[in-house]
Every structure is written in C-alpha cells, then in structure tokens.
Structure 1
Amino acid sequence: MAWVILIVSGMLEAVWAAALAASDGFTRKRPAILFVIALAASMAGLAIAMTELPTGTAYAVWVGVGATLTVVWAMVTRQERASMARILLILLLVASVIGLKAVS
C-alpha cells in the first residue's frame, strides 16, 4: 500500500507544480488554492509512504514520478518543446523509478 500512496503523491507533485505555474505568482486564486491543497496532500502521502519505505528510495520515486509527469504535461500543453532526447531521458527516468521498486 505504501507504494500506491507514494505513486499518487508523486502524481500530486505534478499537480502542484502545474498549479504553481498557473497561479502566476499567486495572483490567480483558483490555481493558488489548488497548489496549496495538492502540496499538502502530496507531502502527507510522502510522509505516510516513508513509514514503510526507505527515505532515499521514497524520495527518489516521489521526485521521479512528479518530474516525469510535470515534463510530460509541459510537452503536451506545448509549454516545452518535445524532442527525441527529452523523451528518451524521461523514459530513462521512468525506468529508474521502476528499477528502484524492483530492488527494494
């Protein structure tokens, strides 16, 4: 169950990152509120997962999931350019997260 909570928390990391960008320096109310809620839920999930998983592994997976989804979202919404190198590096990041799960 800790792994499921950790993955969902990593997904929420991507939500709060996107909401932070959309808040335009906290000048837009709805994205700013979403940022605060997603950040709190993401951190709470990470804390819960860390009661059963090693800190380094949990943190690396949390960041990896969040970073992957944040970059993918930015490419889908055309805020960042998709390139073969970026896609390959994101796949490497996903493989690393899977690898950490496999060896733990």
Structure 2
Amino acid sequence: MSGPRERLEEERRRTTARLTALRGDHRGFFDASRDTNADDEHDPEGATIAFEREQVAALVRQAEEHLEQVAAALARLDEGSYGRCAVCGRQIPPERLEVRPTATTCVACA
C-alpha cells in the first residue's frame, strides 16, 4: 500500500493527464465549429456542438477543481493536518483516505 503523498501525487498525475485531454477535446469543438455555418441548434440528429462543448467545459472545470483539492491536500500533508476532519477534528479513517485522498471530513461529518 502506498502512502498518502504517493496517492496524492498519482492523483495529480492522473488528473493532469485527464485535464490535458479534455482541453484538447474542448479546443477541437471550437475548431470544428469555427469554419462552418452549420445550424447545429436545429439538427434533428442529436446533441448540438454547443451542448457537447459545454459538457466538456464542465468536465474541464471539474478537473481543475480536483487539482486544487489535491494541492490543498498536499499542503495539509506538509503542515501535518492531513487526515484530520476539518469539522470535528477526529482522525479520518484510512479507508476513506484510500478511496478519497483529498477528503477533508470524516464520514460522520461529510
């Protein structure tokens, strides 16, 4: 079993790679729609390019927020408060941190 720093560093690597891919997808939607006069809002074939672009944009924001949470968890680790519930002050169970390494609360306070 790896320690909290290793899990958080792996989480950062995985999220950074996902963010890079999502940003590429997002750029692709803009590039695909830039040079066309297609009226995708009234396309009977399904979701619009604008909808898909916004869906990817939401995933980008989500990944960016997760990276901020990972950075905050690493800072807590450095200062010695990692693994303590921000609400009650008790130790967060290791099983919770294993599954959710950026957790700031125990299960009871979540």
TM-score band by shorter chain is 0.3 to 0.5
TM-score under structure 1 length normalisation: 0.42
- Bigger radius of gyration among the two: 2
Higher relative contact order (CA 8 A, sep 6+): 1
TM-score under structure 2 length normalisation: 0.40
Q: Which structure features the higher share of helix residues?
A: 1
